[in-house]
Amino acid sequence: MVRTSCCDKTGLKKGTWTPEEDMKLKAYITKYGCWNWRQLPKFAGLSRCGKSCRLRWMNYLRPNLKRGSLSKEEEDIIIKLHDSLGNRWSAIAAKLPGRTDNEIKNHWHTYLKKRSIHKDENPISNSHRSKRKSRKEKRSKTSIDASSNIPTQQIIESSQLSAPPLPPPSSMESCPLVTDTTVSPLEMLAETEESFWNEPFFEDNYDVSVGFLYSNSPMIGEEFMCSYGLCEEYYNVFNW
C-alpha cells in the first residue's frame, strides 16, 4: 500500500505486497509451515527477503487477526500495559489476541500517546476521533473483504508450489515446533520426516479457520501455535 515496489541491489523485491505474493506466501505457510524464514521465500517462489515474509505473515496474513479499530476495552488494556511494560509492543500484543505489535504500536502513536499525555485535558475531540475511527473501520473492512474473498482451499489448489526439499537437520533441530523433550529432535525428525515433510497435503489435516495442518504432525505443539497467535485453535483442537 505504502511503498512503491522496487528491487534492491540483490534483486529482492521491496515495497507493497501484491495479492499474488500474499497468495503465494499464505499458501506456502499453510501447506508447509515456516521452518526457516530465510529459506522460505526461495521455496515459496517469492523474490522477498525472509524478514519481509515474516513481517507480512505476522502482521497481515496470519489467521485470526482482528482487523478494524480497537475497542475501548482494548485501548484501556494497552494504556495500562504500556504504563507497566513500556514500549514492549510484542508483550502488550500478547495480551490482546488477534492484535499485532505493529498495529498496537501504530495505534499508540496515533491516538493513545496523545490521550496519555493529555490525560487531564481533552486534546482530541470525540467527534474528531469517531470520524477517524469510522474511516479506519471502512478501510479495514475493504481489506478484509479483499483478502477473505480468496478461499484458502482455492489458494492451495491454484498454487504452483512444489514441496520443499527436506530441510537440513540443523534447521529442524532448531525448529520451535518440538515440544516433547523426552524424544530427541533427531529421533523426532526420523519419525516425522516421512509424515510431515513428504506426506501429501490432505484436506482433512487442514482447518480453514486455523490455516495450518496439525493433526498428523507431532511437531506442532502449543508453543508453536501460540507463537503464531493460534493458542485458541490449539486448545480447541486438543480439547484443552
Partner DNA sequence: AAGGAACCCAACCGCTTTGGC
Partner DNA sequence: GGCCAAAGCGGTTGGGTTCCT
Positions that interact with DNA (CB under 7 A):
1-4, 8, 13-17, 36-38, 50-52, 54-56, 59-60, 69, 87-91, 101-103, 105-107, 109-111, 128, 131-132, 135-136, 138-140, 143, 170, 173-174, 176, 227
CA distance 20 to 155: 10
Cβ-based neighbours of 83, under 8 Å, separated by 6 or more: none
- Identity of the residue, 102 or 159, whose beta carbon is nearer to DNA in the bound complex: 102
- Identity of the residue, 143 or 153, whose beta carbon is nearer to DNA in the bound complex: 143
In whole angstroms, how close is the CB of 59 to DNA at the nearest point? Answer: 6
In whole angstroms, how close is the CB of 216 to DNA at the nearest point? Answer: 22
- Identity of the residue, 145 or 204, whose beta carbon is nearer to DNA in the bound complex: 145
In whole angstroms, how close is the CB of 238 to DNA at the nearest point? Answer: 22
C-alpha cell at 215: 493433526
Contact assessment for residue 79 and residue 112, using Cβ atoms and an 8 Å cutoff: yes
- Identity of the residue, 38 or 118, whose beta carbon is nearer to DNA in the bound complex: 38
Whole-number Cα distances in Å, 124 to 74, 110, 113, 145: 18, 11, 11, 30
CA distance 64 to 59: 11
In whole angstroms, how close is the CB of 195 to DNA at the nearest point? Answer: 22
DSSP symbol at 112 = I
